[in-house]
Amino acid sequence: MRAAEAVDLARRTGRCLLVRIIKARGAPVSEDDDDLWGSGEEARRVVEGSVALVLDEDGEDAGFLRAAYTEIMETPALVLISGETGEQLLLLQGEEDLGDPHAVEDKLAKAFKAEYDRKVASFMALAAAAKQQQGAGPTPTPTPTPTTPTPTSEPETATTSEKEEEEEEGDGGVTEGAPGQDDRVLVEPPARESEPSSSNDDDDDDDD
């Protein structure tokens, strides 16, 4: 498997990328070789749950890997990389790190389990957040209240009692300040006294 294919598969599936860099050999090396990862049960579980890749130290793909992960400096090397984050989870390099197969298997299993636990915790957190959001329900969208035009206020009309009072005042005479009428009060002239009759004057003359 080419390095580009392995990296793409690890990203799509979220599985770890397990890389073994070896010294150049005349014959191709299979990823299923137990000598590369260890023959124990834990090592097999890690290989089966990861995307395994074997690279020749002189190959172009090994050069790209070393450029991306600058801590890889020796050969042989064993690298475990997270398929989700691209983080380097484990690096064992040189004969000192890889000389004891049991120690290699133990470190590899621990790093693999730590990444698995991280993914489970992340999944549970997302599930809890989704459940909480569903329980809260969607935020209701406020419905706009239709605005009704305010009716124009009509001129106030006099009540029945007020009308009656106005009519009574109108019957009593001219209301001062009524529109269209003179403000002066009309006074009828007094009746003229009747003049004494001529007969009375004549009687007075006779007495004299």
pLDDT for 184 beyond 60: no
**May I ask the CATH architecture of the domain 3-135?**
3-Layer(aba) Sandwich (3.40)
pLDDT attached to residue 152: 55
pLDDT attached to residue 174: 46
Highest mean pLDDT pick, 47-51, 135-139, 173-177: 47-51
> What is the rounded end-to-end Cα distance, in angstroms, of the chain?
175
Q: Among residues 187, 169, 186, which one has the least CA distance to residue 178?
A: 169
- Using 50, 70 and 90 to split pLDDT, how confident is the model at 131? confident
pLDDT attached to residue 135: 77
Contacts 24+ apart (CB under 8 A), 103-106: 104/38, 104/43, 104/78, 105/37, 105/38, 105/40, 105/42, 105/43, 106/42
pLDDT for 87 beyond 70: yes
- The answer to whether the CB of 90 falls within 8 A of the CB of 79 is yes
What is the mean pLDDT of the segment spanning 142-158? Answer: 56
What is the mean pLDDT of the segment spanning 25-35? Answer: 63
What is the mean pLDDT of the segment spanning 173-187? Answer: 49
pLDDT attached to residue 93: 95
pLDDT for 161 beyond 70: no
Amino acid found at 63: G
- Using 50, 70 and 90 to split pLDDT, how confident is the model at 185? very low
pLDDT attached to residue 186: 47
pLDDT attached to residue 171: 53
Tokens 């049960």 found at = 41
Note the pTM of the prediction, 2 decimals.
Answer: 0.60
- Using 50, 70 and 90 to split pLDDT, how confident is the model at 69? very high
pLDDT for 137 beyond 70: no
pLDDT attached to residue 150: 56
Percentage of residues of the chain with pLDDT beyond 90: 42
What is the mean pLDDT of the segment spanning 53-75? Answer: 92
CA gap 108, 101 in Å, rounded: 10
pLDDT attached to residue 208: 45
| In the chain, domain spans | 3-135
